[in-house]
Amino acid sequence: MSYHLGLDSSTQSLKGLIIDPAAGTIVGQAAVNFAKDLPQYQAAYSPSGDPLEKHADPLLWLAALDLLFTRMQAEGAPLAEVVGIAGSGQQHGSVYLNAQAGGILASLDPARTLIEQLAPALARKTSPIWMDSSTSAQCAEVTAAIGGRLQTDTGSPAIERFTGAQIRKFYQQEPAAYAATARIHLVSSFMASVISGAHVPIDYGDGAGMNLLNLKTLTWDPAICEATAPGLLDKLPPAVPTHTVIGRLAPYFSKYGFASDVAITAWTGDNPASLVGTGATRPGLAVVSLGTSDTFFAVLEPYRTDPEGCGHVFGNPTGGFMCLTCFKNGSLARERIREETAVDWTFFDVTAFEKTPAGNHGQLALPWFEAEITPPVLTPGLRANFAFASAAAETKIRAIIEAQVLSIRVHSQWIGNFETIRVTGGASRSTGILQTLANVFQAKVETIAVQDSAALGAAMLAAHVVGHHSYESLTKALAPATATLMPDPVTGPVYQELLGTYLQLEAAAKA
Ligand code: XUL
């Protein structure tokens, strides 16, 4: 048997998923939930007390790795059959290691834990993560030094949570600790280094979330690195395509029952891995993930950047590029309106749409209860073009959903048109939302049952790179469409007109 393991080190958990690519099945699965299983370590907190700051204790991720494999072994997961391992990490988070780290990684003793051995390798006790937005000053400084090229060359304008700004803040606030840092890893390349027992490279998928990788040359940009922090270039691992075998499983892990010659492929970010796990690695197909925040991602060909600066460009793990846009007021807004209208989910997901026509007679409500990322609107609040408070529940619900979907359409137009939209996440149960997506985009909508798309995508990456399985066959078996909805062509012109109304409301909100 030749199985492949995908690992996903996310904000709240570490997941492992083993696939049998020949049979197209998942043959083992386990997770460590940080809050429940390892409450003694912090997953997202502010060391300084600044609410904009969010760090994690990197020892948490090490404890989770030992615990996950202990659990998988105890549950009888077929670890001995695994021939390839890939992984993904929460994007943008960084780990700071000292000059001893390389030697420690190379000589991990199976009789001791990862934490015991690797704690002395940390040059910084905490790791800033993607939830951190405390670096506006650093973003402004790097932008002033580099100008518009920062966005057009790295794929994103300076972003607070991106690693470059975080590194700059560390260099400014703790210069001695920065100087003692020999290697800066992303969460993904840190975990991959531990698994491999050596410092390993960063892949283009996750590396693009640092504001440091020049996506035109696919190398670290020396001028941007130097403007971020002096000597930074020397502290970064090499950047490589995701389809790279970066090492072999460290002997330390044989205690969990792994074989001796397991290939490790480059780890990537959780969003790039999800592109693979949702089967969206070809142009013309986009994924809308309806979660706490809604995200939109798709292959991007050829390389270009969002004129508005809202969408980010990352490396597509299968080659070329992908884009990702995050809409902060996703399920948070939907849940709030459901509570306010005091209806059940069946009414919210289905009945409200049966009782109202597509286009809602031109009535729209932008539900930006929290400051929105896409489009950038800092003042929270609901913006409606009708008497929202006194309207019927069904009118309010359609007004919110149509505004959300029109926003996704408007802010993805720079990427191109899509013939198929795959929908995941909790709210993909809503036929009202699914049909609205189909009608607004005039595209086929597919639902997929994949739960852990990042871990699955990582396992599929390993199966492709190490086992030479095609993405087409892996997607067909492991991420098939569970339902398909077609657009109603009659609604095309209705939404074309409503798009104009939406743009007027958005312009007023931004003014
Ligand atoms: C993407 C981002 C998040 C994290 C979540 O830019 O910040 O989606 O990757 O883990």
For residue range 41-66, list pLDDT tens digits in order: 999 999 999 999 999 999 999 999 99
The verdict on the CB of residue 436 being under 6 Å from ligand 1 is: no
Contact present, 193 and 202 (Cβ < 8 Å): no
Mean pLDDT of 229-244: 98
The verdict on the CB of residue 271 being under 6 Å from ligand 1 is: yes
**How many Å lie between the centroid of ligand 1 and the Cα of residue 112?**
32
* pLDDT reported for residue 450: 87
Ligand 1, closest atom to CA 269?
9
Q: Name the residue among 9, 27, 94, 126 with its Cα closest to residue 455.
A: 9
Average pLDDT over the chain, rounded to an integer: 97
* pLDDT reported for residue 449: 87
The verdict on the CB of residue 88 being under 6 Å from ligand 1 is: no
For residue range 334-368, list pLDDT tens digits in order: 999 999 999 999 999 999 999 999 999 999 999 99
What residue ranges in 117-261 does DSSP mark as E strands? 127-128, 183-186, 202-203, 213-214, 219-220, 239-240, 245-248
**How many Å lie between the centroid of ligand 1 and the Cα of residue 99?**
29
Return d(Cα 433, Cα 73) in angstroms, integer: 41
The verdict on the CB of residue 281 being under 6 Å from ligand 1 is: no
Indicate the pLDDT class of residue 333, thresholds 50, 70 and 90. Answer: very high
**How many Å lie between the centroid of ligand 1 and the Cα of residue 18?**
23
Mean pLDDT of 68-87: 98
Indicate the pLDDT class of residue 38, thresholds 50, 70 and 90. Answer: very high
Classified as helix, coil or strand, 28 is strand
Residue 210's φ and ψ, nearest 5 degrees, are -110, -10
Helices (H), 351-392: 352-354
Nearest CA to ligand 1 atom 3: 91
The verdict on the CB of residue 185 being under 6 Å from ligand 1 is: no
Domains of the chain, first to last: 3-266 (3.30.420.40), 278-511 (3.30.420.40)
* pLDDT reported for residue 81: 98
Which residue is it, tokens 């074309």?
Answer: 496
Mutating to test ligand 1, I would choose from 92, 314, 324 the residue with most ligand atoms within 8 A of its C-beta, which is 92
The verdict on the CB of residue 20 being under 6 Å from ligand 1 is: no
Q: What is the pTM of this model?
A: 0.95
Return d(Cα 310, Cα 123) in angstroms, integer: 33
Q: Name the residue among 219, 332, 342, 204 with its Cα closest to residue 275.
A: 204
Contact present, 227 and 277 (Cβ < 8 Å): no
Return d(Cα 263, Cα 156) in angstroms, integer: 32
**How many Å lie between the centroid of ligand 1 and the Cα of residue 92?**
7
Indicate the pLDDT class of residue 1, thresholds 50, 70 and 90. Answer: confident
* pLDDT reported for residue 378: 84
- Greatest CA separation for the chain: 69
| pLDDT at 451 > cutoff 90 | no
Residue 140's φ and ψ, nearest 5 degrees, are -65, -40
Neighbours of 7 (CB within 10 A): 28
* pLDDT reported for residue 511: 84
Contact present, 223 and 247 (Cβ < 8 Å): no
Structure tokens at 126: 């905490």
Return d(Cα 281, Cα 161) in angstroms, integer: 26
Of 22-26, 68-72, 447-451, minimum mean pLDDT range:
447-451
The verdict on the CB of residue 235 being under 6 Å from ligand 1 is: no
| pLDDT at 234 > cutoff 90 | yes
Contact present, 206 and 188 (Cβ < 8 Å): yes
* pLDDT reported for residue 180: 98
Kindly compute the dihedral angle of the four CA atoms of residues 382, 386, 388, 394, in this order, to the nearest 10 degrees: -110
Nearest CA to ligand 1 atom 5: 90
For residue range 127-176, list pLDDT tens digits in order: 999 999 999 999 999 999 999 999 999 999 999 999 999 999 999 999 99
Mean pLDDT of 384-410: 98
* pLDDT reported for residue 29: 96
Q: How many residues does the chain have?
A: 511
Structure tokens at 508: 């007023």
- Cα–Cα distances in angstroms (integers) from residue 176 to residues 79, 99, 173, in the given order: 42, 14, 9
Structure tokens at 175: 């210069």
Contact present, 425 and 437 (Cβ < 8 Å): no
**How many Å lie between the centroid of ligand 1 and the Cα of residue 130?**
6
**How many Å lie between the centroid of ligand 1 and the Cα of residue 294?**
11
Mutating to test ligand 1, I would choose from 326, 327, 374, 452 the residue with most ligand atoms within 8 A of its C-beta, which is 326
Q: Name the residue among 132, 125, 136 with its Cα closest to residue 95.
A: 125
| pLDDT at 388 > cutoff 90 | yes
- Neighbouring-strand partners of residue 450: none
Residue 423's φ and ψ, nearest 5 degrees, are -120, 130
The verdict on the CB of residue 334 being under 6 Å from ligand 1 is: no
Ligand 1, closest atom to CA 91?
9
Which residue is it, tokens 């884009």?
Answer: 323
Indicate the pLDDT class of residue 292, thresholds 50, 70 and 90. Answer: confident
Fill in the amino acid letter for 15.
Answer: K
For residue range 278-291, list pLDDT tens digits in order: 999 989 999 999 98
